[in-house]
Every structure is written in structure tokens, then in C-alpha cells.
Structure 1
């Protein structure tokens, strides 16, 4: 994250903001499940299985949809080559638009699973050599790096090495707050805002070099 240009860092924070927005809408739609945070769904799956609760099925379906999205995004990214960023983000935007349509016309689970699929695909935007460099829709890794960077700064290392990780986390939190507010006013229609925002970020990505700077 630190080796990315400032513009790419801002793009990453914008993508995390959209992910937080979508996750908040999904959380409110389902009454407590996540469309981008699969650790939470994994815990709910385990608890549901232990209790024999029916919601375990939804938790598993969300996890499977997320993984399928990661796989599909990785495939598209490899096919797109140097145009990985805009290609994957345009695909995610279309998936979000489909989810918004399904939320209005079809049973709720269909839209929720498409949201999880879209969030999985989003995480492949910054992949390199087949590996995801950092997550955009979940913040545990970013917070671990934030803590380590703070310690490094206090011990004489990069004074502001923690800033990119904090910005990424703040983007997700701010996006989630906006998603909750939008859902209060628009209900499932709030997803159209996410689809439009992702389309704009895809256009922004087309103008940027998403590769990390060389050391």
C-alpha cells in the first residue's frame, strides 16, 4: 500500500468506501449478515451449525458467492492484462447494478448473493502475480499493518507509514455510514448509488497506473 502513488491510494480508499457502503446496505437488508466481511459470516456459519439454525445456509451461500466473485475477478483481470483495474471495476459496477435491479424485482437472497459476488471481485483489482496485495472490503489486515506502522514510526522508521492504512480504514467506515444513511432514505434503491460510484471509479482507474512503485 505504501509503495502505491498518492492517487492510487486515494482510489483504493474510494473503493473501500464503496465496499463499506455496500456492506452496510447488505447488513441492513439481511438483518445482520455481511456481503464483504467473510470472517463475520464464517463465525455466523459456525454458530448456526452448532445451534442447528437455518441462517447457517445463508452464511455459507454468501461465503461461496464471495469466493466465486474473487475467482471471476481474477480471471477477468488476467484476461485484461494491463487494463485489469478498469476492467474489473466496470464488471463490479455492472454486478452492483444487477443487484439493485434484483433487490427491486426478485426475492432478497438473489440480490444479496450478487452483492457478495461483486465484493469478492472488487478485491482482485490490485492483484499482482496471482496474489491480492491488500484487501479492499475487509480491514483486519489494514489495521494490523496500521499498528505495526505506528510502532515503526515511534522507533525511528517512516514517520507517516501508518497514514495509507488509516486512510483505507477511514474510507470503509465513512462509506458504511453513508450506506446506512442512504438505506434509511432509499431502501434497496441505495444500491444504485454504489453502482454509479463504482462506474466513476472504473473511469478513474483507467487513467492511473495501478502497479506499485519500484523500491
Structure 2
């Protein structure tokens, strides 16, 4: 357990950043998310049904950006091997810097498209801890995981750690969203993106320092 807390804290911090980014995107884009593609897909269907073509095109662009990011993140992770966390997170930092530059240059909503790519990348390097898939931005899955893990515990087929891992992932996302919303309201888009850059750079530094430990999650239950 001595080394086991590291991947848990790492994954929790990664999910907090995803919540931070989602709140910034939601507030700035008027209801669109940057990592929650289920909500965006629902909005895309509504926009298409109502004939809001420009909005539908931009929403589709955000979704496509996320998919491209997942594609690129998976390729980078496969090539980088044991350094995949550092490589993918470093690539995210570059994308956030690009977004901040575009936002500073009044690129409008287009400035957040690189962030959607970054969030797709982040989901390619999630952690599995105590059987719980954490560190991702799939909040609905985390809440389902809490209920499922509690059911297993009730039937004595597992312990409370898996449910706590999922619950912690959900809570960290909510906390990150709250921080992101407050910072955006207080300081604006560019400082918020700069703060996200700093957070991701810190996460990258942690991945560099402890990459050997972070690639071996604790307490994994069952198979893939």
C-alpha cells in the first residue's frame, strides 16, 4: 500500500483537472462541454432537429476533436511505452498553451478546440485502481460504478475500496468543476486556461518523477 496511494492520487488529480476544464468550457461555450461528450451528443441531436446548423457544426467539431485526441493519445501511449503518461500529458500541455494563445488572440470559441483534443488524450491514460476505472472524465460511468461496487460489497463479492475509488473520482470531478467555474467568473478565459496549463504541467512532472509506480495500479480485481 505504501506505493499504492500514488496512482490513486494521480488519477484523482487528473479527474479534478477534467472537471475544471469542463466547467470552463461549459460556461464559455454556452452549454457545451470539453470532456463530457454524452451531453454534447445530446445537444447535437437537438440542434440538428431544430435546424441550428452553425451550432450543430461547432458541436460536431468539439466531438470530433475529442475523438481525434483519443486517437492521437492512444498512438502516443503505444509508442512511448513506459513513458506514456509523460508523453501524453506533455502533449496536453502544448495543446493548452495553444488554446491560451488563441484565446488571447480573440479566436473566440475556436480557441477551445485544442482543449477538446487534450481531453480526448487524457482519457487514453486512465488508471484502474482497486477494480475502479478512475482518472477519466466519464462521470456517469463513475456513478454507475459506485452503485455496482456497493452491490458487489453487499453480496460479499468485493470490498468498499472499489466503491470509494469511484466515489472519489466523481467527487474530484465536481470539485474541479467548481474551481473552474469560480476562476472563470473571477478572472476570465485566458487566466483559466493558464491555470489549467500549470495544473497539467504539475501532473506531467509527477508522472515523470513516479512513472514507474504509476504504471502499476494497486488492487486490481478481475480481468479486463
Specify if TM > 0.5. yes
Please list the CA deviations of residues 87-126 of structure 1 after superposition, one character each: whole Å capped at 9, or x if unmatched.
1111111211211111111422321211111100111113
- Shift, 1:186, TM fit: 1.2
1:30 aligns with 2:29: yes
Aligned to 1:162: 163
TM-score (norm 1): 0.90
Taking the aligned partners of 1:117 and 1:86, their CA distance within structure 2 comes to 17
Gaps of 5+ in 1: none
Aligned length: 208
Structure 1 match to 2:183? 182
Displacement of 1:135 after TM fit? 5.9
SS of the aligned residue for 1:62 comes to helix
TM-score by length of 2: 0.87
**8 A contact 1:142–1:168 mirrored in 2:** yes
> How much does 1:22 deviate?
0.6
Answering whether residue 217 of structure 2 is matched by residue 212 of structure 1, we say: yes
Consecutive unaligned residues in structure 2, runs of 5 or more: none
Tell me: CA distance 1:166–1:134, structure 2 relative to 1, closer, same or farther (3 Å).
closer
CA separation in 2, counterparts of 1:198 and 1:146? 27
Q: What RMSD, in angstroms, separates the aligned Cα atoms of the two structures?
A: 1.9
Structure 2 equivalent of residue 200 of structure 1:
202
1:164-183: CA deviation from partner (whole Å, max 9, x where unpaired):
10111111100000000000
